[in-house]
Amino acid sequence: MRQYLSCRLLGAVALVLVVAGCARSVVSTPGDAPNLQNWVADVRARPAEPLDPLPVMQQFETFEYAAQGLRDPFTDAWVNPEGGSSLRPDPDRRKEPLEAFPLDSLDMVGTIGRGAGAVALVMGPDKVTYRVRPGIYMGQSDGRVTSVREDGIELIELVPDGAGGWLERPASLALDDR
């Protein structure tokens, strides 16, 4: 126990001596003051560096907004003043089974018959084979079958034109050669 107390006392004395030595080195001697004062005076006597000249301001042309009478670009949709085309999907028409699938998910797997009486066989993603004749609707874009050939089906889809109207777009479904 006695040795422990002497170690603590020795450590405390060493700490006091280190702190006293650091405090003494921070305090400057009166002989250092003239050097410091001379250096500060020298720095203050130097001429200041010249500043960069201000940039020349460009003159901008004024613009007068004169589109008060035009259509507001932030409205929901622009309605064609002529009333648009007469094309539009029939909301009262009963949907057919092949209208539940996108056109690209349908596969034509064959035909029955020849010529004008030909019937196409189309397999849906549900692995059911459907019979398709001209006038039948298929696909999700109101696609109406216009003709059935031995190697494919031709149809016309109704798609929105982005301006509140509808456009006819030709589409086809080719025979799957598996």
Q: Which two tokens stand for residue 108?
A: 């034509």
Question: What's the pTM?
Answer: 0.51
DSSP character for 48?
A: P
> What are 121's strand-pairing partners?
110, 131
**Each residue of 117-157: pLDDT tens digit?**
889 999 999 999 999 999 999 999 999 999 999 889 999 99
Strand arrangement, sheet containing 143-149 = 137-138, 143-149, 152-160, 166-174
**Each residue of 62-93: pLDDT tens digit?**
888 787 777 777 765 545 555 555 778 888 88
**Each residue of 14-57: pLDDT tens digit?**
887 777 777 555 555 556 778 899 999 999 999 988 889 999 98
